[in-house]
Amino acid sequence: MKLFKNKIFLIFFALTVLIGTGCFLMGSDKQIDFSADVKPIINKKCITCHGGVRAKSGFSLLFHDEALAKAKSGKPAIIPGDPDASELIRRISINDPDERMPYKHPPLSKQEIDIFRRWIKQGAKWGDHWAYLPVKKTAVPEVENVWIVQLYPRNQRLPRGQL
């Protein structure tokens, strides 16, 4: 207990525990980004066999609706929110090389499996890349702050009457 008498040590210890727990919690809860995290794995390890025309076992990972549709087995391979019930997770985690995906290829790394697992848990969102989304008109917010109105008095949209 002599060590704990040292105040600096105690503070340091407490900080380490706090920061450590914080990092752990944040890490396990990290929001998965489809385009940045999931899509690169699909494109590298799955799309050759599960992409549109070549949909092995009736399972395609090319579009969101295809990925969530029923595969040959009769049920969807991805159940949003429930990785344990998702055939996809079973297929990438299983040891049996006859069933494991990617088929006849080295298994995914623990990290890659974890990304798939968390992505499905978080709802298996597709998150289309902004560059391919149609341009939407955004409403210009009303300005109520007099400070801004005074700074830009010539802007037609501003309520000049308030000046």
Binding site for ligand HEC (CB under 6 A): 45-46, 48-50, 56-57, 59, 71-73, 77, 87-88, 91-92, 99, 101-105, 108
- Given the complex with ligand HEC, which of 46 and 158 has the nearer CB atom? 46
- Given the complex with ligand HEC, which of 107 and 143 has the nearer CB atom? 107
- Given the complex with ligand HEC, which of 76 and 158 has the nearer CB atom? 76
Instruction: Report the nearest approach of ligand HEC to the CB of residue 106 (Å).
Output: 11
The pairs formed by 112-116 with CB atoms below 8 angstroms and a separation of 24 or more are: 112/41, 112/45, 113/89, 115/32, 115/37, 115/38, 115/41, 116/38, 116/41, 116/83, 116/88, 116/89, 116/92
How far, in Å, CA of 146 to CA of 163, rounded? 7
